[in-house]
Structure 1
Amino acid sequence: MDSATIVPPYVAKPLELLPFRAVMLAPERVGDPASARALARPYRDVATRLTQWIQHGRASTDNAAALYVHEYTSGGLTVRGLVGALRVSERAASPSDRAVWPHEAIHPEQAGELADRMAQMELNPAPILLVHHGPDALREVLGEVTRAQPDWRYLDKTGQRQRIWAVRDTERLDTIATLLATSRCLIADGHHRYAAYLRLQEQHPGTAWDAGLAMLVDQHDTPLFLGAIHRTLPGISLMQLAEAARGAGADVAELGRARALGALDSTHLVLTDAATWYAVAPGDLSRQAAVSWLHDHVLVRLADPLPRVEYHHSVDEALAASSATTPGVLLPSPDFEQVRSIVESGGLLPEKATSFQPKPSLGVLMRPMNGA
């Protein structure tokens, strides 16, 4: 693990999502890049700016606190989750007590910058994404909620279709709280914001900062797509990379482009400089993700200090950046159960190891910290 990174603390059970009073951008402004101005520097002016937007109909405040069932559809994939204020005021003393499991380490400076930004904004501007395997009874409760007409529905500027239900009924909220209490969840997106939540809670205990905005998705119900994040390595030759893989015990075979790309699966990586192509079989990956094998056994053989790594969310992006002086590493998509197993057995994945998609558009649900 990079010496500049640390593992953020673990929030303790019971897992709690608390009702809050949401601020929402007007539908025509959700996902609109111009709307980012409302959340931009100077951050200390964001609360005032949002108040002005509410006065002019560019945003609104819900009339009472609620948990929200938020469903969004993007690119044909529908994701549904429960949005609330995640209680972060208690830290786990043992693995069995852990409610929230990070799967990557974080850079403390980045978390600190985010904490300072949120403190100046007096706002959680977007939920972190959590995934779990929810109990059947919770799916039944949320199914009852979503069979009713949504409180808000619209198509935003990005093309995401948004549907939102506010849950305020006390009995239903109590049932949800009971069903969530023993759950454990994995952070899908927002490790640094999660760490910022913890820092703010430590700085302001007993206040609204005892919680941070989160969206909990049932990976059994409407799963997020778990994709790979590919790498390029400036300043390294493809031959050096292939030899390092062989030195790590992998079977490295030179193939044509089509055959190499066809070999990219749960047991193979692909190395290329856009002219030569290698399929790499590390061996047994049943207890280790391919991306961890790459960082722990291959990159450490290349240079001291480690080579600079650049990240790409698609094969096309990685190939476009690959060249004779910047070879690319195409990685297989991780498996959710494998990731969860690695994390719950005490392991971590390298930085930018997973890409959970799609993420909700900015501005659908925000949490003000000033009691609005």
Structure 2
Amino acid sequence: MRRVSADDASETRYGDAGKVAALGLSLSPFRGLRYDPDRVSSLGAVTSPPYDVVDPDGRTRLEDSDPHNVVRLILPRPEPTAEDGYRHAAALLETWQRQGVLRPDPEPALYVYEQRTSEADGGLLQRGLIGALAVSDARVGVVLPHEDVMPRPVADRVGLMRTTKANLEPLLLTYRGDGRAAAVVERAARRDPLLETTTSDGTRHRLWAVSDRQDLADVSADLATCRALIADGHHRWAMYLRLQHEHRHLAQSPWDRGMVLLVDTAEYPLRVRAIHRVLQRLPLRDALARLRAVGGDWHVTDLGDEAEPALKTLAAAKSDGDPDGPDNAFLLAGESGFHLLTGPDEAALAAAVPADLPEEYRRLDATVLHSLLLERIWQVPDDPEHIGYLHDTGAAIREAVRSGGTAVLLNPVEEGVVRRLAEQGVTMPRKSTSFGPKPATGLVLRNLRLG
């Protein structure tokens, strides 16, 4: 957990004109790099979820769906090292451009991006603006992170972007505007789109280009008074900052901006889901034994072998970080079935989490999990060799059984809690939330050589 300073941190918009000029959001058009639909099997077949959502089985399916699937760029096969993988991705990107598989748009534009999830997934409609957002350390307090990052994933993304010289996938950021940018989005969505496709999960995607001078001015004026919350892409935001700093000696450097999707949540509220942990080297029976040895106010309830009723029990125990609500709750899963874990007592919490931190932060499930369970009771290092982070509940359970480890399933955090902590400059443990729907990767890319 870390804190960052932020003037006027309790407000979403800035009211001081001087502060607006210095700190507001700045989103610029760019020449998008897009797939030629005549050179691929379908646009849906060349897209991918964000890199950190793709599991090994999904990666193979994406690679098999089309030889030009963008997953070959965002998760290049290391041959046999990461550096070789980065060079392979850069060469592949260059080849696809030379062959016309990927083509640059004729003029710079902002892109209105629409997603509509399947009816089975709630039929959610989301629209936002893709553009090149100004990046620098001076913008702390304007672009608000809500999760910590780990050095290794940041270094991986830095190596990939440095080598490919491209923004391969947009970060997902949220803001609250005054309606001018939203009006531009809605007007664009009434036109015929540049592209329309449906991905394998049933989500329909549409994209429009916005290059009209007045539309761009309206967007700039609205965003200049806003700050943004990073909903998805903390490691990639850290990547943007590091690479911008590396190239700070360049005048008008393309590294000063990074591709993002900005969604006005006053118009399109995002959905928040949990991200689960799989402790690959801690068998469930050992996790339970260590809890019994510690004692205290931890309570373990055996819920049997059926996933659905166990997950319903977890949802019913949700606390949302409320100090007056029930205990923190986790569902432990593995070869020994499902077990509901609740606790801790006040003394254990006070010993693990400093009392001067906000109560909402201290009582988050993710805070208790990392500060107390992982560090003190289970003594599991937070690194990829010991902990896997999975968005899908079923995949987490399957991985725990496959590895002989323990899946720790969590309830989602309310968006209001996330925003309130971020506006206080408090970041949550990494991978605490999963906002969505996430933008598909591959619909539009940004080649830094094109600006």
Are residues 318 and 51 of structure 1, via their aligned partners in 2, closer, same or farther at CA, if it must alter by over 3 Å?
closer
Paired position in structure 2 for 1:19: 29
Amino acid of the structure 1 residue aligned with 2:331:
V
Paired position in structure 1 for 2:181: 138
1:51-62 to structure 2, matched below 5 A, reads: 52-54=95-97, 56-62=99-105
Paired position in structure 2 for 1:88: 135
Q: Which moved more, 1:196-205 or 1:343-352?
A: 343-352
Paired position in structure 2 for 1:154: 197
Deviations 1:220-250 (A, max 9, x none): 3333332111223332524235448863x45
Paired position in structure 1 for 2:289: 240
Give the SS at the match of 1:350: coil
Are residues 16 and 283 of structure 1, via their aligned partners in 2, closer, same or farther at CA, if it must alter by over 3 Å?
farther
2-side partners of 1:133 and 1:52: how far apart?
A: 40
2-side partners of 1:331 and 1:209: how far apart?
A: 37
Are residues 190 and 81 of structure 1, via their aligned partners in 2, closer, same or farther at CA, if it must alter by over 3 Å?
same
1:1-372 to structure 2, matched below 5 A, reads: 13-27=23-37, 28-29=42-43, 30-31=46-47, 33=63, 34-35=67-68, 36=70, 37=72, 40=76, 43-44=86-87, 49-50=92-93, 52-54=95-97, 56-75=99-118, 76-89=123-136, 91-92=138-139, 98-156=141-199, 159-205=202-248, 206=251, 207-233=253-279, 234-235=281-282, 237-240=286-289, 242-243=291-292, 247=296, 249-250=297-298, 252-256=300-304, 260-265=310-315, 266-267=318-319, 268-273=329-334, 274-275=336-337, 277-280=339-342, 286-287=360-361, 288-304=363-379, 306=381, 308-322=386-400, 326-371=405-450
Deviations 1:181-205 (A, max 9, x none): 1222221222121111111111112
Are residues 19 and 229 of structure 1, via their aligned partners in 2, closer, same or farther at CA, if it must alter by over 3 Å?
same
Aligned residues of 2:290 and 2:378 also touching (Cα < 8 A) = no
Paired position in structure 1 for 2:57: none
Give the SS at the match of 1:333: coil
Q: How many residues align?
A: 362
Amino acid of the structure 1 residue aligned with 2:339:
W
Give the SS at the match of 1:223: coil
2-side partners of 1:45 and 1:278: how far apart?
A: 45
Are residues 225 and 89 of structure 1, via their aligned partners in 2, closer, same or farther at CA, if it must alter by over 3 Å?
same
1-side partners of 2:5 and 2:90: how far apart?
A: 29
1-side partners of 2:376 and 2:159: how far apart?
A: 38
2-side partners of 1:278 and 1:192: how far apart?
A: 31
The share of aligned pairs that are identical, in percent, is 33
1-side partners of 2:257 and 2:95: how far apart?
A: 26
2-side partners of 1:159 and 1:152: how far apart?
A: 16
Are residues 126 and 232 of structure 1, via their aligned partners in 2, closer, same or farther at CA, if it must alter by over 3 Å?
closer
Are residues 162 and 327 of structure 1, via their aligned partners in 2, closer, same or farther at CA, if it must alter by over 3 Å?
closer
Give the SS at the match of 1:221: coil
Aligned residues of 1:158 and 1:361 also touching (Cα < 8 A) = no
1-side partners of 2:88 and 2:241: how far apart?
A: 23
Q: Which moved more, 1:65-74 or 1:215-224?
A: 215-224
1-side partners of 2:93 and 2:400: how far apart?
A: 43
2-side partners of 1:275 and 1:151: how far apart?
A: 49
The alignment yields a C-alpha RMSD, in angstroms, of 3.3
Amino acid of the structure 1 residue aligned with 2:183:
E
Aligned residues of 2:24 and 2:226 also touching (Cα < 8 A) = yes
1-side partners of 2:337 and 2:90: how far apart?
A: 52
1-side partners of 2:92 and 2:376: how far apart?
A: 51
Give the SS at the match of 2:240: helix
The normalised TM-score by structure 2 is 0.70
Query: Runs of 5+ in structure 1 lacking a partner?
Result: none
2-side partners of 1:220 and 1:245: how far apart?
A: 46
Deviations 1:63-106 (A, max 9, x none): 100111111234343332210101013514xxxx6111112222
Are residues 109 and 309 of structure 1, via their aligned partners in 2, closer, same or farther at CA, if it must alter by over 3 Å?
closer
1-side partners of 2:293 and 2:114: how far apart?
A: 45
Are residues 55 and 276 of structure 1, via their aligned partners in 2, closer, same or farther at CA, if it must alter by over 3 Å?
closer
2-side partners of 1:192 and 1:8: how far apart?
A: 17
Q: CA deviation at 1:252?
A: 4.5
Amino acid of the structure 2 residue aligned with 1:141:
V
1-side partners of 2:303 and 2:295: how far apart?
A: 16
Aligned residues of 1:112 and 1:199 also touching (Cα < 8 A) = no
Q: CA deviation at 1:366?
A: 0.7
Q: Which moved more, 1:170-179 or 1:219-228?
A: 219-228
Are residues 148 and 282 of structure 1, via their aligned partners in 2, closer, same or farther at CA, if it must alter by over 3 Å?
farther
Aligned residues of 1:244 and 1:301 also touching (Cα < 8 A) = no
Give the SS at the match of 1:113: helix
Query: Runs of 5+ in structure 2 lacking a partner?
Result: 7-21, 48-61, 77-83, 320-328, 347-358
The normalised TM-score by structure 1 is 0.84
